[in-house]
Structure 1
Amino acid sequence: MPENSSERSSKRVLEPIDRVSEILFGLIMVLTFTGSLSIAEAGRDDVRTMLIGALGCNLAWGIIDGVLYLMGCLAEKGRGLLTFRAVRKTTDPKEAQRRIADALPSVVASVLEPIELESLYQRLKQLPEPPDHVRLRKDDWLGAVGVFLLVFLCTFPVVIPFIFMHNAEPALRVSNAIAIVMLFLTGYAFGRMTGRHPWLVGISMVVLGLILVGLTMALGG
C-alpha cells in the first residue's frame, strides 16, 4: 500500500490536469505584470523592470510550487504508510477492511466484496515490515522539477515580444495575443480531458483567465 501511494505521487506531474493548472497559474502571474505596463508612458527602463519582475515572480513561484509538490508527495506517502501500519496492526478483520476501503478510490471500493477486501488484508499482512519513515524517490524530484519548469517556462512566450520589439505598444498587443492563444489552448485541452466541448471551454478559460488577472491586479497582486 505505501508503494502504490508513492507511485501515485510520482505520477501526478504527468497528469494533464496538473499541467493545465500549472500553466494557467504561470500565465496569470505573468499577465499581472504585462497588464500593469502603461503603454503611453512606458520606456525601455519600464519594460526592463517589468521583464525582471515577471521572470523573477514566476521563478520564485515555480520554486515554491515545486517545494509544495514535494510536500504533497511526502504527505501522500505518509498517509499510505500510516494506513498500512494500521491495517497490519489491527486484529479486527472488519476494521482492516474498512481502512483498506477508505484508502482506495471510492469507485473501486464500492465494487469490492468483503471477501475481496479480506484477501487484500491477508496479502498485506504477508508483506515485510514497512520502513520507519517515508522518503522521496527520484520520480518525486523529477516531478517537482517538472512543476517548476511549467510555471517558469510559460512566462517566456508572453514576454518575448518585449525583448525583440522596441516599441512597447505593439509588443503589448502581440504579448496579449499570445497569452489569449495560450489560455484558449489550455482550456481546449482541459475540455478534451473532462469530456466537455473543447472550444467552449477554451473560450471560457480565456474569460476566466482575464477575470483572475483583473482581480489579482485590483487586489495589488
Structure 2
Amino acid sequence: MPLPTFMRKIKKTLMKYLPSPTWPWEIISGLFIVIIMINSLKYFSKDVSSINRPFFALEIIIADLIWGIFDGWMLIFTNLLREGRYNKMISRIKSWDKKLATEIITNELSDTLISMCDEKTREQIIDMVFRSLSSINQDDLKKPRISKDDIIAAFVSTFFVFLPCIFILPFFLLIDNMDMAISVSNMVGLALLFGFGYKLGSCTNRNKTLTGLIIMLIGLLIIMLAIVFSA
C-alpha cells in the first residue's frame, strides 16, 4: 500500500538530508542507548519499583538527545573537513601534471558506482573530471562553511537518534509493574533492532535477515549482561 502524499514528501525530505544506510543506523544507535539505560536499572537499583519512572524516562530522553546532538555536530564537522579536503585536492590537480592528477581522481572515484563501469568508461569519466576541475579558478574555491543543509541534516540526525524514545518509553511508563515494564520494553526494543537491522541489510545489499538477527543479538547480549550483573 503506497504512502499518502504528505508522508512521501516527509520521507523524501528526510532521505535528502540523511540517506540510507545512515538513517537506520542512527535509529539503531538510539535503540541501544534506550535499552542500555532501561536495563541499567536492575544493576544500579535492587528495588526497581522505587524508581521515579517519569524522571528516569526524562534522563533517557536527555541521553538520546545528547548523543543525537553530538552525532549531528560530527556530521557538520565531517562535511566541513570534506569540503576543505576537496579544495586542497583541486589545488593539487591544477598544479600537478596530468598523470598524478588522474591518479588522485581515480583513487577518489574507486569507492563509487563509477568503479563498476568498464575500463574505457572509467577513463572517459576520469578525463572529464580532470578537465572540469582543472578549469576551476583558484579564486572561485569557497572557504568551507556551515550551510543551511548541514544544519538541517544535523537536526534530522538528532531526530532519528531520538525516535526510539517515542517507540519504547510509552511501554516503560504505562505498565504498572516495573519488572513487566522493563521486559516489555526489552521485547519491543529487540523487535525494533531486528526490523531496522533488516532495513540496514537491505540498504547495504547484505543478507537482510542475518543483519537483523546480528543487530538484535547485540541488544539481547546487553540485556543478558544486565541480568547477570544484577543477580
TM-score normalised to the size of structure 2? 0.77
Letter in 1 for 2:103: R
Q: How many pairs does the alignment contain?
A: 209
Q: Does 1:145 align with 2:155?
A: yes
**Aligned mate of 1:62, from 61, 68, 73:** 68
Q: Is 1:161 matched up with 2:177?
A: no
Q: Could you state the TM-score of these two structures normalised by the residue count of structure 1?
A: 0.80
Q: Which residue in the other structure is 1:200 paired with?
A: 210
RMSD of equivalent CA atoms: 3.0
- Aligned mate of 1:99, from 104, 108, 126: 104
For the pair 1:122 / 2:131, whether they are aligned, the reply is yes
Shift of 1:150: 0.8
What residue is the counterpart of 1:88 in the other structure?
Answer: 94
Deviation at 1:88, TM superposition (A): 1.5
Asked whether the equivalents of residues 37 and 50 of structure 1 are also in contact (C-alpha less than 8 Å), the reply is: no
Q: Aligned equivalents of 1:17 and 1:149: distance in 2?
A: 16
Contact 1:28–1:209 (8 Å) recurs in 2:
yes
User: Residues 174 and 218 (structure 1 numbering): CA distance in 2 closer, same or farther, change over 3 Å?
Assistant: closer
Q: Answer yes or no: is 1:51 the counterpart of 2:61.
A: no
Q: 1:218 to 1:66 in 2, by over 3 A?
A: farther
Residue type of the alignment partner of 1:21:
W
Q: Which amino acid aligns with 1:25?
A: S
Q: Find the aligned partners of 1:25 and 1:101 in 2 and give their Cα distance.
A: 34
Can you give the 5+ residue segments of structure 1 that lack an aligned partner in the other structure?
A: 1-10
Are the counterparts in 2 of residues 32 and 217 from structure 1 also a CA contact under 8 Å?
Answer: no
Q: Which position in structure 1 is the counterpart of 2:35?
A: 31
Residues in 2 aligned to 1:213 and 1:85: alpha-carbon distance in whole angstroms: 52
1:42 to 48, 61, 80: 48
CA distance in 2, matches of 1:81, 1:216: 48
Once residues 194 and 63 of structure 2 are traced to their aligned partners in structure 1, the CA distance between those partners, rounded to angstroms, is 23
Relative to 1, partners in 2 of residues 1:199 and 1:64: Cα closer, same or farther, differing over 3 Å?
A: same
Q: Write the distance in 2 (CA, Å) between the matches of 1:115 and 1:45.
A: 66
Provide structure 2 residue ranges, at least 5 long, that are not aligned to the other structure. 1-14
Change (3 A) 1:53 1:218: farther
SS at match of 2:21: helix
Q: CA deviation at 1:148?
A: 0.6
C-alpha deviation, 1:149, in angstroms: 0.6
